[in-house]
Amino acid sequence: MSLSASRAAPLRRLAASLWRVFRSRLRALVAFHLLFTLLASFLALPAIAWVSRALYARLGADIVTLDRLIALLFTPAGISGALAIQGLAFGLLYWQQAGMLYIATSRHGTSHSRLALEALWHGTRRLPALMGLVVVQVGSHLLLVAPFMVAMTWLYDAWLGGMELYYLQKIRPPALWYFVACALPVLGLWAWLAGRLYLRWLLALPLVALDNAAPVTALKRSVALTQGWRRSIAAAVMLVLIGVVALPILATLAFDTLFTPLLDGLPEHHAVLLPAMLVYLTAYVLLTLALTFAGIALNALLSACLYLQLALGRRHQKRAATPHAGRFAWAIELGVIVLAALQAWWIVGSFALDDDVEIIAHRGSSMRAPENTLPAFRQAAKEGADAVELDVQLSADGAVMVYHDRTLARLAGDARALGTLSREELANVDVGSWFGHDFRGERIPTLEQVLETLRGRAGIMIELKPSPGRGRDLALGVLAELNQETDTRYACWAKAESAIAAYGRCGYPDARREMRLASMSPALVATLAELAPEMRLTLLAQLVIPGTLDRRGFDALGLRHNRITADEMRLAATYDYDVHAWTVNNAERMATLIDMGVDAIITDYPDRLAALLGERRRLSDAGLLLLKLHSWLKR
């Protein structure tokens, strides 16, 4: 026998064993998966959520930027909280895997439903030992990653320290690629060591769950059993991983290719379209549930088959009795179909046939003109923006200047901080040449200049970015400018011939009610609520720690668009505030967020969003319903 054939033989035996167990235990595994999911949903997950909120609350943080998140994770409280949450999550996963391992290796010929209940009880009895294994095994992996995290942090500080994340994503300077080039070998070494450790300890879970071994004993025995089998085990693990990743992609592509075109060919009548969508979504939900189950089950069956082959040897060759179907198992499976149909009905019912989304231009039309400049704001108004978002800071002499960064380095090549310069000095700074020759000599505008430029043309979201200790001063300065603008507008209205002409030339009379104030600081938002209770306030956040934020202190929550989930939208509906998504430049992502129900989208391309909304408004109700379905399927 050739060397390659001898290496392939264990994989063939493993594949045959995995298929045999999967075929004989499929219905019992399905019954267990459904029972465990119900138990986890009603008991375990709420308990984990409660513990998580309690831990998060002790961290003393609610809104976290990426810089603050990194700093938080390296504090004792942050590390303890992350370890506790991760331990609970892995404990739930090990509990589920223990039950599936019991089913896969059982020799009983009982009914599927009874075997599922026995597996649930068996996994519950072994829960203390499983949690001990989590502490040792997962803890070791975390200890392994710690020095690499330190190395990555050092590399980040060395190459990218002081650079704003948005700037890195937008400009992608050479330093970013130097950082990537240095970081990849570090990540590669960590992946190799972590993978090697994972393969050596792969059998620890079945040994704890099935042989009643102590966690440390199981880890030592796993190392001994896998000795000399690492390549075969690695190949098996990689094949299963590829299958778990590829199966949902291929199944979804096949589903979209075969069935989605059928919906497009249906007549645009709700009497036909709605039942067809319900059938389609029911099938899609069932497919999603099946793929989720397949991924979980394949991982457990691989561990079970490796355990049978390496730990028990030939003792496992005796064919196990196949469980027989019982009425309870049939009832569970029928219940899944009913639940899928109900979920499909809920999904269809959640589609709103209106696209009432506000277009907010991020720092103006910042891809057509230099950010936070008067040309960018004028261009945004031309492109259909309902409002522009801008950043304000105080100059050394108290003028409210429209500028984002702390220093002038990025846009003007000047290392000085904006807050150390007077308005007169800032008037000589060129912030347009970096963008293009056509904008050479463009200056940093004052808030007063922007209010005059956009009067009657667009609203403004004013994000306050104060220097340390100047938050209240900045808030008072902004409010003073808005009061002055209000006086100007009332004077303008008094001279107008008609209300229509006045609104187009002067804007809404009370500027404070037309504008919106925003900040990433909950404390500053509270100060603004105290100083100007009549104004709309937006709290901006990159990350909201669950269960810690008081969601009654603002009118809108601005979230990074990839942080907006169905749960966040439900919370917004519960506490009656708007959701603003930032910064969204991809039309497909814009459409997804519109269908999720966000109230405003902040974008560098207001013309793209305006065009998208125009196209959607020209669709019939049935066409828009189909579009929303397609968008939902792509989430």
**Where would I find the beta strands (DSSP E) of 39-153?**
63-64
Q: What are phi and psi of 606, to 5 degrees?
A: -60, -30
Over residues 224-277, the pLDDT tens digits come to: 988 877 777 888 888 888 888 888 888 878 877 887 777 777 776 767 777 888
- Which neighbouring-strand residues pair with 400? 394
Q: Within 10 A of 568 (CB to CB), how many other CB atoms are there?
A: 16
8-state DSSP, 315: G
Q: Measure CA of the first residue to CA of the last residue in the chain; give whole Å.
A: 50
Closest CA to 578 of 544, 605, 551, 603: 551
Integer Cα distance of 362 and 340 in angstroms: 40
pLDDT value of residue 204 = 94
pLDDT value of residue 464 = 97
Highest mean predicted confidence (pLDDT) among 222-231, 492-501, 566-575, 600-609: 600-609
Closest CA to 59 of 579, 544, 620, 619: 544
Integer Cα distance of 96 and 90 in angstroms: 10
Q: What is the domain class of 358-633 according to CATH? A: alpha beta
Residue type at 257?
T
In sequence order, which residues have a C-beta less than 8 Å from that of residue 522 and are 6 or more positions away?
62, 63, 539, 549, 550, 553
Exposure string of 276-308, with b = 16+ CB inside 10 Å and e = fewer, is ebeebbbebbbbbbebebbbbbbbbbbbbbbbb
Integer Cα distance of 306 and 299 in angstroms: 11
Over residues 507-555, the pLDDT tens digits come to: 899 999 899 999 999 999 999 999 999 999 999 998 887 767 889 889 9
Beta carbons of 234 and 199 less than 8 angstroms apart? yes
Over residues 178-220, the pLDDT tens digits come to: 999 999 999 999 999 999 999 999 999 999 999 999 999 999 9
8-state DSSP, 312: S
pLDDT-above-70 percentage for the chain: 86
Over residues 37-46, the pLDDT tens digits come to: 888 777 766 7
* Tokens representing residue 480 in the block: 């003073």
Q: Under DSSP, is residue 339 helix (H, G, I), strand (E, B) or coil?
A: helix
Integer Cα distance of 86 and 78 in angstroms: 12
Residue type at 398?
G
Torsion angle of alpha carbons 197, 203, 208, 209, nearest 10°? 130
pLDDT value of residue 613 = 94
* Tokens representing residue 51 in the block: 């513990």
Report domain extents, the chain: 3-125+228-350, 127-227, 358-633
